[in-house]
Amino acid sequence: MELHDLTSHLIHRTDVKLMNYFKKKLKPYGMTPVRWSIMNVLNPQTGLTQTELAEAIDKKQTTIVEMIYAMEEKGLIKRTFSDLDRRSHYLFLTEKGEELKKTLAPLVKDAHLFVTRQLSDEEIDQLKILLNKVTLLVN
């Protein structure tokens, strides 16, 4: 079987190209795609545990620990310890984080529109369905 006929190769190649494009767009803001994912799922009102956050962005907890610390240092997220268990804490987006999220949201939407510009709405929906189906099969 030829390399370019392998679905895994096509998905990987697409992921690399999309992530490189997205990184370029986010770099001026000191963001990365994973940090954007963290900001996207956090909000100022409802806290998430580190486990919930990792599950929400489909990353291992160990992968996001340093990012959480770095984003906390920049004032983008804050940690609030549980009253019931001091070992447990919840992560929230700060006001500064919320402002950056609002600034980046149109940029992220424009990036999505750019990379899918030659696909119809139906094709985009079908692509999402197929990628989710493949993802579930390999879990």
The more confident residue out of 81 and 75 is 75
pLDDT at 87: 72
Cα separation, 62 vs 98, in Å, equals 24
The pTM score is 0.84
Q: What would the mean pLDDT of 50-70 be, rounded to a whole number?
A: 91
Nearest to 37 by CA among 67, 69, 78, 14: 67
Whether the pLDDT of residue 131 is over 90: the answer is yes
Q: Round the average pLDDT of the chain to a whole number and report it.
A: 91
Cα separation, 98 vs 110, in Å, equals 19
Cα separation, 106 vs 89, in Å, equals 31
Contact (Cβ atoms closer than 8 angstroms) between residue 100 and residue 75: no
Q: What would the mean pLDDT of 111-133 be, rounded to a whole number?
A: 94
Name the helix (H) or strand (E) containing 82: none
**Residue 81: how many CB atoms within 10 A of its CB?**
11
Query: pLDDT category, 36, cuts 50, 70, 90?
Result: very high
What are the CA-CA distances from residue 54 to residues 12, 37, 66, 94, 133 (Å)?
Answer: 21, 10, 13, 19, 21
pLDDT tens track for 89-109: 899 999 999 999 999 999 999
